[in-house]
């Protein structure tokens, strides 16, 4: 993989990276560890309310939604501490990273491409004119109350089954399948409540209605360098994702699809990235594969979320985060080839709303052959919610083995050992042990 510069020479850039993350980012420690390994200094900027940043005296506590003020703060910081790259750990920081990188003349995706990769409507608008398969869609606007007459009218013009989804929330939050008009009305009302809770005080909002695309779902992890896409891993998602909600569970690599299918998936993502204008850094794509070929569901200008990158190892035990940093700074790679072993991760879904207490059976789960570790990320005594309202998992199970089938079986066996203890909210009842 050659590394070409989009503006200036990368090998002369200061070895200092600014990570844009949120208080709930899982990936920040992995980037910090990778940066230490390759000799890059890390500076952290966190998305938070301005009054909290002042209270905690956090110099780069930024409100990402206030783009101009955030750009000003980063530019002021860079005058005394020159930056060599700006990386967004989550979707929330991709637009800010692109805009401030442009002003600082650092390698970057264009702001227009960054916006298209995080705004679902803008992405659909652009991709509908490409050669790839992309779902039909309609943009709906809500002003004021969701009255029954308006919802019934909208439902009457929709082809079912469909998928109702927000424009910008990530992790399948708010994404709901509807099979008929009654389910559509219910889904829109439920999404409206989620939007209201996320953005209080706003009476006007928009949502997408897309055709539901059947098929086997996969995720492609890749990295772009001067517009050239290099695939890093293709994950199978063996659990059906047919709704009504779309909570991901298992990722397995290498894929068990045919080489022809895998090439079609890579070509689809490559065309989509070019069409959206993405040229630099990591990409994470979600696709459905059926008799008509691959269908692009999502394409994000960032790497895989959660702790799922822990499943990936490259030459000399390099992590995905190390590859991303090396590409950003124009550093050499030994190899972009993934290890020969199969690997996988199970994201532990939240089985019900309440106060999370603990997970029992982790030792038994880790004793299952091929299981590397079980990492519980939910915080005890905090409120949790499943999809579509929730936006997190209880934790992750990791496995490695000789074949994808063995890895998948190990993940399912380990999950079967776990018992989740969740207490009802606003109740004095005893905690309940819920089945996984």
Q: Give me the CATH number covering residue 379.
A: 3.30.470.20
- Judge whether 350 lies within some domain: yes
- Same domain membership, residue 96 and residue 16: yes
- Judge whether 271 lies within some domain: no
- Same domain membership, residue 145 and residue 96: no
Q: Give me the CATH number covering residue 37.
A: 3.40.50.20
Q: What is the pLDDT of residue 333?
A: 77
- Judge whether 388 lies within some domain: yes
- Judge whether 205 lies within some domain: yes
- Judge whether 29 lies within some domain: yes
- Same domain membership, residue 141 and residue 103: no
- Give per-residue pLDDT as tens, 210-256: 999 999 999 999 999 999 999 999 999 999 999 999 999 999 999 99
Where in the sequence is the domain holding 366, given as residue range(s)?
A: 341-436
- Angstrom distance (rounded) from CA 189 to CA 18: 39
Assign 148 to helix, strand or coil.
helix
From 183, 211, 239, give the residue that closes a domain: 211
- Judge whether 246 lies within some domain: no
- Same domain membership, residue 178 and residue 88: no
**Direct distance between the N- and C-terminal alpha carbons of the chain, in angstroms, rounded to an integer:** 43
- Same domain membership, residue 419 and residue 361: yes
- Same domain membership, residue 434 and residue 347: yes
- Judge whether 59 lies within some domain: yes
From 211, 245, 265, give the residue that closes a domain: 211
Report the Cα 194 to chain-centroid distance in Å: 19
Other C-beta atoms closer than 10 Å to the C-beta of 178 total: 23
Q: Are 394 and 359 in contact (CB under 8 A)?
A: yes
Domain tally, the chain: 3
From 211, 228, 251, give the residue that closes a domain: 211
Q: What is the pLDDT of residue 149?
A: 84
- Judge whether 378 lies within some domain: yes
**Reported pTM:** 0.91
- Same domain membership, residue 141 and residue 105: no
Spans of the chain below 70 pLDDT: 1-11, 50-57, 426-436
- Give per-residue pLDDT as tens, 12-68: 789 999 999 998 888 899 999 999 999 999 999 999 876 666 656 677 989 998 999
């Amino acid at each position: 993989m050659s590394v070409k510069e989009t503006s200036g020479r990368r090998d002369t850039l200061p070895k200092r990276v600014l990570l844009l993350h949120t208080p709930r980012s899982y990936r920040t420690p992995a980037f910090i560890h990778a940066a230490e390994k390759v000799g890059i200094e890390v500076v952290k900027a966190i998305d938070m309310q301005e009054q909290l940043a002042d209270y905690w005296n956090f110099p780069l506590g930024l409100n990402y939604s206030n783009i101009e003020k955030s750009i000003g703060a980063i530019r002021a910081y860079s005058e005394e501490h020159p930056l060599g790259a700006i990386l967004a750990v989550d979707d929330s920081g991709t637009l800010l990273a692109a805009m401030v990188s442009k002003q600082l003349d650092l390698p970057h995706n264009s702001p227009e491409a960054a916006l298209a990769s995080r705004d679902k409507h803008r992405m659909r608008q652009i991709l509908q004119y490409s050669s790839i398969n992309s779902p039909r869609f309609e943009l709906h606007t809500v002003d004021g109350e969701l009255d029954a007459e308006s919802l019934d009218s909208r439902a009457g013009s929709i082809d079912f089954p469909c998928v109702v989804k927000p424009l910008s929330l990530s992790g399948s939050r708010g994404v709901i399948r509807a099979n008929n008009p009654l389910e559509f009305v219910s889904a829109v009302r439920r999404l409206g409540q989620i939007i209201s809770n996320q953005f209080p005080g706003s009476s006007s909002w928009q949502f997408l209605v897309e055709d539901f695309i059947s098929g086997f779902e996969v995720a492609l992890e890749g990295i772009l360098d001067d517009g050239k896409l290099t695939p890093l891993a293709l994950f199978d998602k063996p659990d059906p994702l047919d709704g009504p909600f779309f909570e991901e569970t298992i990722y397995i690599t290498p894929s068990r699809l045919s080489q022809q299918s895998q090439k079609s998936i890579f070509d689809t993502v490559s065309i989509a990235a070019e069409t959206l204008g993405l040229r630099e850094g990591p990409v994470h794509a979600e696709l459905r594969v059926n008799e008509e070929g691959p269908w692009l569901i999502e394409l994000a200008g960032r790497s895989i979320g959660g702790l799922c990158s822990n499943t990936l190892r490259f030459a000399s035990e390099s992590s995905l985060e190390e590859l991303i940093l090396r590409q950003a700074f124009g550093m050499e790679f030994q190899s972009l080839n993934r290890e020969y072993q199969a690997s996988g991760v199970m994201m532990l879904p939240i089985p019900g709303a309440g106060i999370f207490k603990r997970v029992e059976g982790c030792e038994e789960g880790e004793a299952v052959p091929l299981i590397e570790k079980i990492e519980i990320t939910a915080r005890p005594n905090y409120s949790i919610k499943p999809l579509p309202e929730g936006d997190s998992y209880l934790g992750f199970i990791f496995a490695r083995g000789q074949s994808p089938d063995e890895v998948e079986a190990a993940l399912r066996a380990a999950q079967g050992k776990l018992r989740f203890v969740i207490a009802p909210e606003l109740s004095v009842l005893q905690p309940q042990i819920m089945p996984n």
